[in-house]
Amino acid sequence: MPINQYVRKYVIMNLGGAIHLNKKFCLVIFIILVLYLYLSSFGSRDENDFTKQTQNKVNLKNLLHMAVIAAENGGNEVKNNINSNKIESKGKTKEGADDKVTTADYKSHCIMQGTIKKLYHDIKLISEEFKTNCEGIDLPSEFPSIPREIDALNDSWVKDSDITVWIDPLDATQEYTEKMYEFVTTMVCVAVNGKPVIGIVHKPFLKETYWGWVGTSKSPNLQVKERSDDELIFIVSRSHTGKVKEMINTKLSEIKNKIVEAGGAGYKVLEVIKGNADVYFHTTAIKKWDICAGNALLFSVGGNMTTLKDELIDYGDTENAVNTNGLVATLKKYLNLKKLLI
């Protein structure tokens, strides 16, 4: 579907944004609407609020769709640049490893941000590569049409000032530079009043997209499988290992456990949901764009994600993009485990 059709389809619902499309047409519609609302207000007070409600409001269903497209557009950049990457270091992590960034991180950022901002220019958006200059970056001229399972969802309007979008244009950059492509994801997260509500994790090299809308729906491929073994599998970071192994071995010594190392926060959350691991465990600082989408996926399947102090993470607090208190992410079954860890 051409982009203009999208703009018409989505922005027409937002009376403020539609006027630049065709002023006369919108004016006529507006006058009819006002007349209609005025007349019908004698019968119903609720409908009288319609105009007020759609002003500065975002339909989460449409934002979900655009967020899926953004993640997939970013994923295409990630795939297309495997041979033309310039690898740089942004500095050192706390553990002393290089914090790498590649051409693909920047390009994916610009495409993902551009895709969201195309229709939602007033939304607050935070990205790992927010400092990138995106001038001259072209969006794809065609966007895919809305998948049936998203189209079937109900509209849900939210004030745009309550929304924060978090973008990770390339999660597991270290593994990407080592050609361990299975760990690589692109992620978009929509937080409403600080709570993760919509999460998208896209695996570009496997052509898989997982999404969850908390309390509403999820992608058909996001299937929970709980493990039944008596041994607990912890999935931990390859590159930011920190004190994690030591902590598991001292605090959980009486529980039979196994530690699996993997790259990427998005990847690790999916492993927990798919039943390939029980607990995603992290003891050091982690950025909110790394974890917001996975947090929404976990919430949408009844799991949980907290810091090691048992706090939920506030994604409305954009001044602090770093969660410094570690991470425990599990399905419901393992929530009691936190008591042992904290």
Residues making up the annotated binding site for Mg(2+) are 128, 168, 170-171, 290
Rounded Cα–Cα distance for residues 234 and 257 (Å): 7
Task: Mark residues 55-94: x for contact with ligand NAG by CB under 6 A, - for none.
Answer: ----------------------------------------
Task: Mark residues 140-159: x for contact with ligand NAG by CB under 6 A, - for none.
Answer: ------------xxx-----
Query: Is 261:116 a contact under the CB 8 Å cutoff?
Result: no
Q: Which of residues 299-338 bind ligand NAG (CB under 6 A)?
A: 304, 306, 310, 312
Decide whether 109 or 218 has the Cβ nearer to ligand NAG. Answer: 218
Q: Which of residues 154-183 bind ligand NAG (CB under 6 A)?
A: 154
Decide whether 157 or 181 has the Cβ nearer to ligand NAG. Answer: 157
CB hemisphere CA count around 277 (13 angstroms): 21
Q: Which of residues 188-217 bind ligand NAG (CB under 6 A)?
A: none
- Shortest CB 224 distance to ligand NAG, Å: 14
DSSP label of 86:
P
Please provide the size of the chain in residues: 342
Work out the burial of residue 133: count CB atoms within 10 Å of its CB; fewer than 13 is exposed, 13-18 middle, 19 or more buried: exposed
Q: How many CB atoms lie within 10 A of CB 312?
A: 14
Place of tokens 């299937």: 223
Decide whether 31 or 152 has the Cβ nearer to ligand NAG. Answer: 152
Contacts with ligand NAG by CB under 6 A: the residue count is 7
**Torsion of the alpha carbons at 298, 105, 121 and 212, rounded to the nearest 10:** -20
3-state helix, strand, coil in the chain (%, to 5): 40, 25, 35
Decide whether 112 or 313 has the Cβ nearer to ligand NAG. Answer: 313
Decide whether 208 or 310 has the Cβ nearer to ligand NAG. Answer: 310
- Shortest CB 154 distance to ligand NAG, Å: 4
- Shortest CB 310 distance to ligand NAG, Å: 5
Rounded Cα–Cα distance for residues 328 and 308 (Å): 6
Task: Mark residues 266-305: x for contact with ligand NAG by CB under 6 A, - for none.
Answer: --------------------------------------x-
Tokens of 62: 């449409």
Decide whether 154 or 253 has the Cβ nearer to ligand NAG. Answer: 154
Decide whether 106 or 211 has the Cβ nearer to ligand NAG. Answer: 211
Query: Is 102:177 a contact under the CB 8 Å cutoff?
Result: yes
Tokens of 17: 């944004």
DSSP of 25-62 = HHHHHHHHHHHHHHHHTTT-HHHHTHHHHHTTEEEHHH
- Shortest CB 241 distance to ligand NAG, Å: 25
- Shortest CB 48 distance to ligand NAG, Å: 21
- Shortest CB 308 distance to ligand NAG, Å: 11
- Shortest CB 191 distance to ligand NAG, Å: 16
Sign of CA dihedral 285, 306, 123, 205: positive
Under the rule (CB under 6 A), what is the footprint of ligand NAG? 152-154, 304, 306, 310, 312
